[in-house]
């Protein structure tokens, strides 16, 4: 368990109360968050995560200056304080509007990479759920209740959102990829899904490796029958999709997945 958390510029004991009861992140879910992977004491893809966070906070009209520029230094301090200079870790960065005129509340936590993430890297089992329309689907806000309810309805499985036309959009915690005839296929970032940092990294890695890509609606049956199927997020990087409902898929990584996963950290930057 993490010993320390960062609240604003203060290092506090992880178990101590540190937020006001009238913080608007608590009362209204007004804020955004990022989940970041750290490796060897360095945050992987941090600039990408902060750019996405700034975009969401801009939409919510939550000020990012001057604290955003201090995040890399504070994150490093937090990793050191928690003894996470080696191996892999999970960092969570949450920002809310705060309370009154005090400005945003910025909270960071860091802990060893959970065992569940390591298990899921060997293969993710999924179940389909109806896609829920929402104007903020493309943003990582604190209003996460629809996905939490979906996860509770599919215990032990990753919920995959499927629209009325039978197209897969995304998972509760991941983006979705298929390899069909040597082409890497993923649903488009058309405002109905969250375009993950890992998704962008994999598409860049594919371009470097000269793997053809296609961003277009992805039918569920195409995903299930693909040569390779996998999911991505910052912690998993990319993991095979081992099952969808009662349909078993190859749980081992295929050649395209292996190529992209090997290049992931280099492309993401640390």
* CATH number of the domain bearing residue 165: 3.20.10.10
Give the end of a domain, one of 113, 136, 169: 113
Q: Is the pLDDT of residue 1 over 70?
A: no
Whole-number mean pLDDT of the chain? 95
53 & 164 share domain: no
Q: How far apart are CA 110 and CA 212, in angstroms?
A: 36
Residue for token pair 């277009």: 216
Instruction: Name which of 120-124, 143-147, 233-237 the model is least confident about.
Output: 143-147
Q: CATH no. for residue 15?
A: 3.30.470.10
What mean pLDDT comes out for the span 26-33? 95
Above 70 in pLDDT, residue 32? yes
Exposure on the CB side of residue 91, measured as CA atoms within 13 A: 32
Q: Which residue among 96, 113, 130 closes a domain?
A: 113
Segment 236-252 mean pLDDT: 94
For residues 145-167, average pLDDT: 96
The range of the structural domain enclosing residue 26 comes to 4-113
Q: Is residue 67 pLDDT above 80, yes or no?
A: yes
- 139 plus 93 within the same structural domain: no
For residue range 93-119, list pLDDT tens digits in order.
999 999 988 899 999 999 999 999 999
């Amino acid at each position: 368990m993490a010993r320390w958390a960062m609240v604003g510029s203060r290092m506090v004991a992880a178990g101590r109360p540190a937020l006001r009861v009238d913080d608007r992140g608590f009362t209204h879910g007004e804020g955004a968050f990022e989940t970041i992977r750290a490796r060897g004491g360095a945050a992987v893809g941090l600039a990408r995560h902060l750019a996405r966070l700034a975009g969401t906070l801009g939409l919510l009209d939550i000020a990012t200056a001057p604290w955003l520029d201090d995040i890399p230094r504070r994150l490093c301090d937090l990793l050191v304080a928690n003894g996470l200079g080696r191996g892999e870790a999970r960092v969570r960065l949450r920002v809310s509007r705060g309370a009154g005129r005090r400005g945003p509340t910025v909270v960071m936590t860091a802990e060893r990479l959970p065992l569940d993430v390591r298990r899921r890297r060997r293969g993710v089992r999924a179940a389909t759920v109806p896609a829920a329309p929402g104007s903020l689907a493309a943003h990582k806000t604190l209003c996460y209740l629809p996905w939490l309810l979906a996860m509770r309805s599919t215990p032990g499985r990753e919920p995959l959102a499927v629209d009325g036309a039978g197209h897969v959009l995304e998972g509760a915690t991941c983006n979705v990829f298929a390899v069909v005839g040597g082409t890497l296929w993923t649903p488009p970032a058309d405002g109905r899904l969250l375009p993950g940092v890992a998704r962008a990294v994999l598409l860049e890695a594919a371009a470097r490796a000269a793997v053809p890509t296609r961003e277009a609606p992805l039918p569920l049956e195409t995903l299930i029958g693909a040569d390779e199927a996998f999911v991505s997020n910052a912690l998993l990087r990319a993991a095979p999709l081992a099952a969808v409902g009662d349909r078993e898929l190859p749980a081992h990584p295929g050649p395209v997945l292996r190529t992209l996963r090997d290049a992931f950290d280099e492309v993401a930057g640390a």
